[in-house]
Structure 1
């Protein structure tokens, strides 16, 4: 399994930004509201991010030597995949909503307190949170290079280039 590619996060964010900018420009020019998620979506973002962090902390505690229970390798692999999906989804949300925010910002003087502007800013912050949590949990799931078999003391931060996943 490969690690998250920062370049792909940037490409996904930029592509989503371009599509979000085009969609927002088209829709607002034709009298439709801005295509943003509602602030209620932040609840889902926070719940999914929190669940991913919780699962990642369980893997990290096992990796760091608390091995009173056996770590299910399938659960650890699912945690890595969830962390990667969270980061990529965060890049998508960040790109789209940041573009919508930037296109709505010049209209601020015409419509102060516009809910779509605040909502796009809030979901953009949620996207940043998702990316950060995904990258962090992926790092939690890496074994240190000297502990590739998972039986050693588990010292180290797991940030080595040669580390494998727990």
Structure 2
């Protein structure tokens, strides 16, 4: 399944949902590796095998796992380092509840080239809207976002609150 939306504020940036392509997989892994180095878990060795498994799940069950990409433009070939942003989201039931579905964003990675820029904020906002659209289309009652970047948690909190999200808890970590 492929969904393409053009951003009217920056016409060269588009988002795509679950594109079946080795090129997108490689670009997603590249960006995930870069983003991993900026998280609190950067001392863990990055697993390309695990990253590829997420891509494979999305290809087998796109109604359960969504991969949402922001790319430079519809007509430009995608280079491995060409992604602007990438999100991985999974849909399922609450671990103790029945009936309602929840979409959980496991990662939202923005290109280091765009981090801290106005364009980066716009691209991240488009990805959040694309995640919300994906979740609504599948009938999810909630969308949850896990933030583990560790460096600018306050900025992430501000951004997600501006997107209309509310805090329902927090990520806490003890490092010996």
TM-score range, shorter chain: under 0.3
TM superposition score normalised by structure 1: 0.26
Greater Rg by CA: 1
TM superposition score normalised by structure 2: 0.25
Higher strand content, 1 or 2: 2
